A and B are shown apart, each in its own frame.
Chain A
Amino acid sequence: MRLALDGDVGAYKTLLGAVAPHLRGVVRPLLIRSGRGLADLEDIVQETLLAVHLKRATWDPSLPFLPWLNAVARYKAIDALRKSGFRQDVDIDTMSESLAAPDERRDSTLDSATILNALDAKQRKLVEQTIMVGRSSADVGAELGMSEGAVRVALHRSLKRLGKMFGKNRHEN
């Protein structure tokens, strides 16, 4: 995380890649204890990853990272449970299904097309090309006639938009 905060993209990806399974471990028991299936697990994990990213400045590098990370995960998981209501009447079939088939998909219920559709035209193009296709943001930005700063802002806004979508999606479920 220290490296990542200095702007080391490789270190950041490695870190988030290791954080994701850890978050599954933190969130899964919370979901099970609340009497819900694990259908939302990856959504909450992704929402927490996004929060880790957006709130990374609240981690004090002089303090240990793990308590901070777990606190973010707990906050997001509890928030998710609260928003969608603590369901007591769990359908045992869905429960055993989700228990039997552990979350192999590593995929949220929000699909990429839905996400892209919610972005404005420039953001959509930018995210589609850089994230989904994997081109460099500088190239795509140049193609769209955007400055480096404008690309940065658009990408950032797209993530904030995504955060709102996570909240809404849960509301409707």
Chain B
Amino acid sequence: MKTEKLIDWLAEDLAFKPPVASKRILFWLPIAALATGIIFLGLVGIRTDLTSTGAMPTLVKVGLGLVIAIAAVRGTRTLLRPEASIAQGIAAPFAVFLSLSLLLALDLASWGQNGFLGRLLGKSITSCLTVIPLLAAIPLVTSLMALRAGATSHPAFIGALAGLASAGLAIVAYGLYCTEDSPSFVAVWYSLAAVIVALVGSMAGRRWLRW
């Protein structure tokens, strides 16, 4: 086929407005996360001491989740442009790393080294590492579908960011339920859960976000 013919064909299709990935993800990811979160909390219930002793630690968890999610969504919105480099989408991994160090520092500053290992290991590693990824699953699929309208040059990396964003919002929901409050536990296991989702996201991204 002659290239001029193709150009005529494309021009003929100009009236068809393509979906805008940067808007789609802002719309669909919060909806998916909210729906999943409401169902989850409806089933297991919000922790009962939310307004008393649980207030501060819950705030820390919700804050952590939001920081990760916002940084990661920003990253995906940048990286869905083909000319964006990985360096421009690095804010989210950086946010995870920074919050992790802050939480560990907070833990050591509040309670010192005594009993650190006990606080670190806690009692709910398995629940944390399974429930957070499960809560992130549907938001992840939703955000990958939204990002298919994008044109990233780095499918695996943007997939990982979509994973982090979904995990961040899953952490917000899980944080309202989980009563494991030591900052070091949150820092290590919440983050590890987020990293697991990011790995899944990067594998899915490599497959689905080619164009």
Contacts and interface: CB of A to CB of B under 8 A. Distances in A.
A50 B6 CA distance: 8
Interface of B: 1-22, 80-83, 149-151, 153, 210-211
A106 B21 contact: no
Interface string A44-87: 01100111011111111001000110111011000100000000
Contacts, number: 114
A20 B3 contact: yes
Contacts of A70: 83
A152 B82 contact: no
A30 interface: no
A57 B11 CA distance: 15
21 contacts: A7-B14, A7-B15, A12-B14, A13-B11, A16-B10, A50-B6, A51-B151, A54-B18, A57-B17, A57-B18, A57-B149, A58-B150, A59-B81, A71-B153, A72-B151, A107-B2, A108-B1, A127-B9, A130-B12, A155-B13, A162-B9
5 A-B pairs closest in CB distance: A71-B82, A71-B83, A55-B151, A53-B10, A156-B16
Contacts of B211: 51, 54-55, 75
Contacts of A55: 18, 82, 150-151, 211
Interface in A87-138: 106-108, 110-112, 115, 127, 130-132, 134, 137
